[in-house]
Amino acid sequence: MSNRQLLEQQLLNWRHELHRHPELSGQEFQTTDKLKQWLSEYGIETATWGLKTGLIADIGTGYPIVAIRADIDALPIHEEIEQDFRSTQDGVMHACGHDLHSSTILGAAILLKAQASELKGTVRVIFQPAEETYSGAYEVLKSGALEDVSAIFGFHNVPELALGTFATRSGAFYANVDRFKIVIKGKGGHAGRPHETKDPIVVAAQLISAVQTIASRSINNLDTCVVSITQVHAGTSWNVLPEEAHLEGTVRTHSPEVRLAVEEKLKQIAQGIALAHSVDIAVDWDNGPAALINTATWAELSQTVARAQGYEVQEAPLYLIGEDFGAYLEHIPGAFVSIGSASSFGLHHPQYQPNESLIYPAAQYFAALATQALESIHKNAEV
């Protein structure tokens, strides 16, 4: 077997091992140990930077530093696929492809190590924990591991894209993902004597209707804005009006300005309806991951390198799902890209089964991207 074939098979074996033994967010202890061991076999030293799980490796020396990132956590999903490397952890599955991502970036690290003396700086390789809980990127930022990084790159496999297909875009890509909880406190009583109560269910109905006007009447129609109430809970009996009603939902936007405007409008509507019905309404707003906004220069370079590597390059659509890589791009220029994994079932599905043939070409891609990013920064510094 050629060196390429040997490495390609090794990456597949590693992917299978990670898939057999998935670990949930913040619990990736065995995964971290395995990654450390595998990298050490190729002479790549790692450090934790104080992280509980996950690890970081530097390849090359000096400045500038560019980073490439993989996420390593799995999901609380029971796998429904019969295959040789099926998950051995009941109720836990790599249903988002982070095992593919880790194997890909392992491959990129090994390819970069082989040319470390020729790199015009350092490639910092990040194996990030807890992406699924949107906390891992913030942990890495807090560690200080990215303070000297000039650019950062990452990717996600996309089941809807064919194998060999690549997509990204400049500017906004993934969404702000925010969650809200609303508690309406009224006055309960007999359903046959509603005039003696302050019915939180009627109030909830009006609030639900009013909230739908935020996107249609308060936000510019050219801006992305989705407001969805996804849970409504109230009452315990058919003939009793309850004391409280509880609602939950999510907001998806692509700019910080719209994000803030929706939060303010939601609270304003709640306050107004509470006043009109003499009830108390509490709104708890939880900012999730920030919108992922690609730097135009680096998004364009990522496309150029993809074409050179033989990918069919497409313009990616806007996504309304979240990705905590956006936290990095709030502080560091960079780009996030999509690589086709051609699965019949989508992300987070118990029958998600990506085409793992994407791994080695994607490893080559990220090694080339990191190399060319260093060269680009080096060249611009000389001008």
Task: For residue range 329-354, list pLDDT tens digits in order.
Answer: 999 999 999 999 999 999 999 999 99
**What pLDDT was estimated at residue 1?**
77
Residues 49 and 144 both lie in one domain: yes
Please report, for the domain that includes residue 164, its CATH number.
3.40.630.10
**What pLDDT was estimated at residue 3?**
86
Q: Which residues are annotated as a binding site for Mn(2+)?
A: 96, 98, 132, 156, 348
pLDDT digits (tens, 9 = 90+) for 263-287: 999 999 999 999 999 999 999 999 9
Q: How many domains does the chain have?
A: 2
- Tell me: pLDDT of 224 over 70: yes
Strands 171-174 and 292-294: antiparallel
> 162: domain range?
3-174+291-382
Residues 11 and 146 both lie in one domain: yes
**What pLDDT was estimated at residue 236?**
96
Strands 149-158 and 225-234: unpaired
**What pLDDT was estimated at residue 382?**
65
Looking at every residue in the chain, the average pLDDT score rounds to 97
pLDDT digits (tens, 9 = 90+) for 143-190: 999 999 999 999 999 999 999 999 999 999 999 999 999 999 999 999
- Tell me: pLDDT of 122 over 80: yes
Residues 165 and 313 both lie in one domain: yes
pLDDT digits (tens, 9 = 90+) for 300-314: 999 999 999 999 999
**What pLDDT was estimated at residue 378?**
86
Residues 315 and 268 both lie in one domain: no
* Average pLDDT of the segment spanning 76-91: 96
Residues 57 and 106 both lie in one domain: yes
Residues 208 and 239 both lie in one domain: yes
**What pLDDT was estimated at residue 170?**
98
Domain boundary among 261, 287, 313: 287
% of residues, the chain, pLDDT over 70: 99
* Average pLDDT of the segment spanning 57-62: 97
Residues 156 and 236 both lie in one domain: no
Residues 199 and 111 both lie in one domain: no
Residues 227 and 299 both lie in one domain: no
Contact 298, 66 (CB under 8 A): no
Q: Is the bond preceding 317 in cis, omega lying within 30 degrees of 0?
A: no
**What pLDDT was estimated at residue 323?**
96
Q: Which residues are annotated as a binding site?
A: 96, 98, 132, 156, 348
Distance CA(167)–CA(158), nearest Å, equals 9
* Average pLDDT of the segment spanning 11-21: 98
* Average pLDDT of the segment spanning 119-137: 97
Cα angle 79, 165, 157 (rounded to 5 degrees) comes to 30
Residues 204 and 257 both lie in one domain: yes
Residues 159 and 260 both lie in one domain: no
- Tell me: pLDDT of 383 over 90: no
**What pLDDT was estimated at residue 160?**
97
Measured CA to CA in angstroms, residue 139 lies from 48, 72, 135 at distances of 11, 14, 6
- Tell me: pLDDT of 362 over 80: yes
